[in-house]
Amino acid sequence: MDFSIKGCDWTKGETKGFATGKADCIVLGVFEAQTLSGAALDVDEATGGLVSRVVKAGDMDGKSGKTLFLHEVAGIGASRVLLVGLGKQDAFNQKAYRDAVRAAWRALLATRIAQVTFTLAQSLADDERGADWGVREAILALRGETYRFTAMKSKPEPVQYGLKRVVFTVDSDDVKPARDAIKRAVALANGMDLTRDLGNLPGSVCTPTYLANTAKTIAKDWKLKVDVLGLKQIEALKMGSFLSVTRGSVEPPQFIVLHYQGAAAKAAPVVLVGKGITFDTGGISLKPGEGMDEMKYDMCGAGSVLGTIRAVAEMGLKINVVGIIPTCENMPAGNATKPGDVVTSMKGLTIEVLNTDAEGRLILCDALTYAERFKPAAVIDIATLTGACIIALGHHNSGLFSKDDTLAGELLDASREANDPAWRLPLDDEYQEQLKSNFADVANIGGRPAGSVTAACFLSRFTDAYPWAHLDIAGTAWKSGAAKGATGRPVPLLAQFLIDRAGQ
């Protein structure tokens, strides 16, 4: 897909020639119960009032998300015009824009249209978000609509749409930031696609070794440094908590460390730690059979780290990032860890394993201890950690936990900018009482009340050395039901956080 920018000032009549430029279709926004303006007004004049007649006849009322094709249009270079309802102008916001954009792409992708002039980003002129944001959101929406996972199909369905080129019109002053937005949006979409692909692969393919090889491929493609530690090296580091999870599996565990250096070597990195359980049966605390196929997605935290670093490398951000991925399977076996066993973490804390299905925190805690050696500016762990987070927040917001208000604020700001929402949940010391153990320093679960909070409290015990935040993406990393599949979240949030940190 080819994307480009065209600067247009619709108020000065500069675009009369551009409206006659070659394109299969021009996409125009129409507000509800409003007179035409901007690109719609310009095209209306060029076509002898065609658009206004259609609106007056009631064929396009401007209601949010409504679309209408006009065919065999005379007076402009495009033979078709797609009118897209934007809703009421005084209620037009980012959500309304995204709804309109998705409606436009769905209408276009149902045709064989190949070249499009897309003017909707200019409808954000009076909004707090600029046209560059509008271009980025439009590209991400399009890439989301066109994503297909076909790697495991013997005869993939052929691509039905013909769209190959999109020209975004923006105000003349917005050309440079809009071009930068294209570069970043494409990089971000590529990172999200990688994260989706990894999450959608079956556990028989996407093993710990597969994740390690993916990290090596990213390192080779983008000239990064990667270290992959195997079983003996993990044992030498005394990661007893991590090893307790992998014990029942025949697949060897991997501990992946991927380095992106975009700033001076002495600059403290941001460390991203991703949970990489490539299949989670629950271990001896076996999960119910129904829906267990979805436990191949339990490595989406790891996938989001790989996708984010790939995106950051393509963007060329001036920041140092280290991705740490502890990855293994959680399987039942005669030698698997049993409820009631006590294991010793890399930090030296002993852990009573009351439930082997609370395994994510057991691999993450050793990775969080390992992160100390990088003297990080901040550490963020990302994990499909608890079903309790889905009960609390559903599938819209990722759960955010941190005792560092500044770091939490940065992540929330990034989530809003990236349209990848997160919600901050409590991390009060009182919740730590639920993790008391009679036989070890800490238990790995705290009971049903506030399950996502006590999971975060457990992780917090291993993060004293640096600013830390935890993202529970159990409800946002994938969709179930008819739309079952990985979403690519929270790659947009993480990438935006790193863009902001880099000051770019």
Beta strands in 63-158 (DSSP E): 67-70, 80-87, 115-118
Which among 102, 216, 287, 403 is annotated as catalytic? 287
Residue in the block written with tokens 């780290």: 305
H or E segment and range at residue 61:
none
Is 143 a known active-site residue? no
For residue 223, count other CB atoms closer than 10 A to its CB.
9
* 361 in catalytic set: yes
Place of tokens 């590209």: 139
Task: Please measure the distance between the N-terminal and C-terminal CA atoms of the chain and give it in whole angstroms.
Answer: 25
Distance of CA 124 to CAs 38, 96, 127, 176, Å? 11, 10, 5, 17
Tokens 């005792």 appear where? 403
Q: Which residue has the tokens 């609106």?
A: 55
Task: Give Cα 347 to chain centroid, integer Å.
Answer: 31
Instruction: Count other C-beta atoms under 10 Å from residue 130's C-beta.
Output: 18
User: Taking phi first (over 0 means left), then psi (-120 to 50 degrees means alpha), and beta for anything else, what does residue 452 get?
Assistant: alpha
| Cα dist from 336 to 11, 243, 257, 295, 363, whole Å | 71, 10, 26, 18, 15
- What angle do the packed helices 175-200 and 300-315 form, to 10 degrees? 150
Given the residues 184, 361, 461, 489, the one annotated as active site = 361
Closest C-alpha among 94, 115, 111, 119 to residue 29: 119
What number of CA atoms fall less than 13 Å from residue 185's CA on the CB side? 25
Give 308's contacts (C-beta < 8 A, 6+ positions apart).
191, 195, 272, 321, 323, 491, 494, 495, 498
20: left (phi over 0), alpha (psi -120 to 50) or beta: alpha
> Active-site residues: which are they?
287, 361
